[in-house]
Amino acid sequence: MLTEKKLKEELTSLSEKKFQLEDKGKLATLSSAMLTHIGTTDAKLRDDLIYGAFVSWVMRDNAIEKADLKKIFKELFDENHLFHQIGEKDTDSIFTRSFSALWLPPILINHRKEAFLSKFEINEGLDKLIQYLQQEKDRRGFVDGKGWAHAIAHTADALDDFALCSELEEEKLEKILKTIQRTVNISDYVYSHGEDERMVTPVLAIIQRQLLPSRVLSQWISSFETPIKKTKAMPDGISLRANIKNFLQSLYFRLKWNELSEELLPPIEKTLSEISLFTK
């Protein structure tokens, strides 16, 4: 197994060639080491080199065989990756969990081009991702000296690519919406690193699939005012209101700018009015 230092040397050299592999025999060794060190606190190695190489090999070069991608997909959900020391907060274990989530989108994009995952595997993967998100306690965005943790944003990216998979039917799309709502509706932390925009993206994907009627989507939007009515205490009420307001405003303007489902704009306006402290 390559040490972290040796892996960085290898990938740094490959990055100068845009990660093009002349010796495909190295791929298995490199991929294994990258999965082992996926959560390194070395931001350059984690973000630019490990993640950069993986995206290049999956999205551009098709260097990783479909059977190997399937194995990686399954491995990302294990106790050494997405569920690594789950429940911890403000520790370095977050980087392993968060970047395991970030590896899912390239695999799913590749799958949508040429299917290699079964419907069962897609649905099971989504269920595990949602289970992970429900258990994640560390919501930090940028960590000084170590770079992006961003578990919420990375998981939202993965939810977006799951939502675009034709294997998912209405029930699972509604489950994604409920999961996003639970993630938005927190009162112990205010998202401040663009998480609202990232969580809007899978909602747009669901809308664009046109499987859920506008009635369901409108009811989902309106239900965001319920937790505000139940939470009166300070500062919980302020934090919760800020998260919901930022998310709904982001959703509103993304719909407007993309000229999508304009019938959803009035329910958003009404909900924002209901949760505002300044509406008469």
pLDDT beyond 90 at 262: yes
Lowest average pLDDT, out of 1-5, 117-121, 251-255, goes to 1-5
pLDDT band at 277 (very low <50, low <70, confident <90, very high): confident
Q: Cis ω on the peptide bond leading into residue 235 (within 30° of 0)?
A: yes
Residue percentage of the chain with pLDDT more than 70: 99
Residue range 121-160, pLDDT digits in tens: 999 999 999 999 999 999 999 999 999 999 999 999 999 9
Q: What is the predicted pLDDT for the residue at 232?
A: 62
Q: What is the predicted pLDDT for the residue at 94?
A: 98
Hey, where are the domains in the chain?
A: 4-168
